[in-house]
Amino acid sequence: MSLPVHLVESLADVRVGSVVEVTGDEAHHAVAVRRLREGEHVVLTDGRGTSVTGEVTSTGKRVFSVTASAVSHEERPEPAITVVQALPKGDRGELAVEVLTEVGVDRVVPWAASRSVAVWKGERAAKSHAKWQATAREAAKQARRSWLPTVTPLASTADLAAVVGEAELAVVLHEDAADPLSAIDVPTSGRIVVVVGPEGGIAPDELAALEATGARTVRLGAEVLRTSTAGVVAVAALLSRTDRWA
């Protein structure tokens, strides 16, 4: 059985034998909800590559302590994957973030596409962004990731030029594209960007703007996928051709 994973702010200078104290909401959920007890073993990670395995030596109302028995560090996986996710309606945004995190994406960029049904403004924008961040955090723990993905602030189409410009490969998913994703050469390092449009599709002017910054328009299979699942399918197809899934 896999050990439960908990996120902590920092594991700097932690060595075998060190005692790590976990506090706040993370500790409250572990102790009050999951009923964590002394003597159990858990994994702690700082979300930046370092993980600690150890035994729970004490618990409190919103705190528990772990004595480290093993410490490991993983380098950030390459190629790194960014998914630009157009805002979907309902709770499909959280679904997209969840599965993208599970498959190994390290950055999600919420995109206010012109045809997006959902709109993030004012207080709703802050709440929606917080939901996406919380979803990524919990999915990373479930997937036992030592690197926590980030969810950036909401991006406009104009903002995507910088995102695409930093990539070794940037692709835009479009059902009418001539080239299949399977025909694209996949880089072994650097960053890959996948752009996923909204339910109504990417507007022609947006597609032209993305192509002008160097993105390539590609299609998946003959089927048209939902915006909440197209990204994870594309990322899996790309990762299967890299050393990350070798």
Whether 86 contacts 64, CB under 8 Å = no
Out of 3.40.1280.10, 3.20.10.10, 3.30.420.40, 3.90.550.10, the CATH code matching 80-245 is 3.40.1280.10
Query: CATH code for 5-73?
Result: 2.40.240.20
What are the domain boundaries of the chain?
Answer: 5-73, 80-245
Name the more confident of 85 and 225: 85
Q: What is the mean pLDDT of residues 5-15?
A: 94
Stronger pLDDT, 222 or 233, i.e. the higher one: 233
Same fold, 5-73 and 80-245: no
CA 153-85-211 angle, to 5 degrees, is 105
Which candidate, 23, 145, 171, 27, places its Cα nearest to that of 76? 145
Mind listing the pLDDT tens digit for each residue in 138-153?
999 999 999 999 999 9
Range 8-13 average pLDDT:
93
Q: How far is CA 30 from the centre of its chain?
A: 23
- DSSP for 185-230, written as a single string: PPPSSSEEEEEE--TT---HHHHHHHHHTT-EEEE-SSSPPPHHHH
pLDDT tens per residue across span 27-68? 999 999 989 999 999 999 999 999 999 999 999 999 999 999
Which amino acid would we find at residue 200? G
pLDDT at residue 1 in the model: 65
